[in-house]
Structure 1
Amino acid sequence: MSGPVNGSQRVRLRTIDVARESGYSLQQVRDLERLGVIPPAARSDSGYRAYAPIHVQALRAYRGLAGAVGPVAARRMLAELRTGTIAEAASSINGVHVRLARERDESLRALQALEAIEAEAHTAGFEQERDAMTITELAGALGVRTSTLRFWEQEGLVSPERVTSLRARRYGLPAIRAARIVTALRSSGYGIAAVREVVDSLHRLDGREDARRVLRRRLDLIAARTVALLRAGADLAAVVTFAQEPPAP
């Protein structure tokens, strides 16, 4: 067998057949069945596992999902896709596309913020714009909690302007730009100490170059995750529709 799995789901496959078609080892196939990634295999009278083409499609779907959202989330999603309705499955998969698009937009905005910082550093007599955001507005724009912004403030990553006796926070353009970069770096898995180092060095050429490399690497990773999800599309559809079919007599 090679290429996409077609034909009747009544075809019986051995564990080695499923492993060969899916690219997983024999033990991985058994482990992923145990974890609920694929439906339980039928058993022959002699106790051997008997798989069907849907098991190969489920494993391929898992590979793509794992590349897009990570193995733990992929296992959870596939288990849900096999038991939910088509509408619920479509909503779940669409949610992954939306999150990837948001992450990409977030990283692009961080790159734009970095370019603005560089432009300020190289423009004599640059006059700051007067735009500012409240902590609620900035948190909403970044998709984080206000408590996260307060924590970043405590860690010296983003410094707001305090403008009232009630200590209400307002963030000017420099802080907004720094916050976008911090958001992208944190989403990339950078720890607080590493993010602080990048933020502190943003006004040095080498620091800005480091930040640019990180953000571009993140964009490449998001693109790879998106492609992995697209590749899983047909197999994910097969898993979802199979779950809605009545059991064979």
Structure 2
Amino acid sequence: MRPADLACEHGISTQAVRNYERDGFIPPAGRTDSGYRIYTEAHAAALRAFLALVPAYGHSAAGEIMNAVHRGALDDALTVVDRGHHQLLRDRATLDAVRRAVDHLTAEPGAAPAPSADGTRTIGELAHRLGVTPATLRNWEAAGILTPARDPATGHRLYHPADIRDAELAHLLRRGGYPLDHIATVVRRIRTAGGTGPLAEALDEWQRRLTSRGLAMLTAATHLSACVNGGPPDPTPNALHNMDT
């Protein structure tokens, strides 16, 4: 096969194929007497595996997996795969925790008492409640996530119940991997709508992303198995038994 043959299957450029070879994502190509690259079905299988791994585990992890496969370090490759599955499981647990928190906040919007009689908290009190630093809250304010009032006498930040709700949601979404600019958008929509409906939409989108990643892992496993074993995975019921023995 020529570089163009591999590229055509995936709608990528021939330069991308050469770059993937350079980076170790596919094995080194053979050469003709005149120096042209020659690829085989093994190269095609490696390219399919790498491109399937990217949406499942990310570009960096996909490259790490393929480099390990090509140097014969299969256990190293599988360790990266295992880390990806572990992270997906943690993300699912985090999403469940966020949903429970949103349900709680929706059911009892002012349930958490604050030290002040009017329900406000200082930056130190709110940071302690969330287990973050005051600097983190100031960063969230700079990103537009929090808009605390100021004590007219001292100039110190005062966080009212709505601010505390926004901070709690921001904390949960940060744990879920959301960037600050996305959290700011969600929080602004909550303020405008006057409720947590927009957050529910964000969580539904998060759920769809996790499902998509899980399905991508299934597809990637098929292609990686074909690359490692030199052919399609064995579909027979005794395949796993034969591997063990």
- TM-score, reference length from structure 2: 0.64
Structure 1, residues 69-111: CA drift from partner, whole Å, max 9, x if none? Answer: 3324422332233225222221111111111221122122212
- Is 1:188 matched with 2:188? no
Match of residue 179 from structure 1: 171
Partner residue of 2:105 out of 117, 124, 131: 117
1:91-170 alignment runs, 5 A limit: 91-121=79-109, 151-154=135-138, 155=140
CA distance in 1, matches of 2:218, 2:203: 23
Q: Secondary structure at the match of 1:24?
A: coil
Identity of aligned residues (%): 29
Partner residue of 1:86 out of 74, 78, 83: 74
Report if aligned partners of 1:198, 1:207 keep a CA contact under 8 Å in 2.
no
Match of residue 12 from structure 2: 24
Unaligned runs of 5+ in 2: 114-126, 147-163, 231-245
Match of residue 224 from structure 1: 212
Match of residue 40 from structure 1: 28
CA distance in 2, matches of 1:119, 1:35: 52
Report if aligned partners of 2:65, 2:76 keep a CA contact under 8 Å in 1.
no
Unaligned runs of 5+ in 1: 1-12, 130-134, 140-145, 159-172, 243-249
Aligned residues, how many?
Answer: 195
CA distance in 2, matches of 1:200, 1:26: 45
Report if aligned partners of 1:37, 1:62 keep a CA contact under 8 Å in 2.
yes
Shift of 1:56: 1.2
Report if aligned partners of 1:22, 1:59 keep a CA contact under 8 Å in 2.
no
Match of residue 57 from structure 1: 45
User: Which amino acid is the alignment partner of residue 175 of structure 2?
Assistant: T
CA distance in 2, matches of 1:84, 1:113: 46
More contact order relative to length (CA 8 Å, sep ≥ 6):
1
CA distance in 2, matches of 1:22, 1:197: 35
- TM-score, reference length from structure 1: 0.63
CA distance in 2, matches of 1:227, 1:202: 31
- Is 1:213 matched with 2:201? yes
Coordinate RMSD, CA, aligned: 3.4
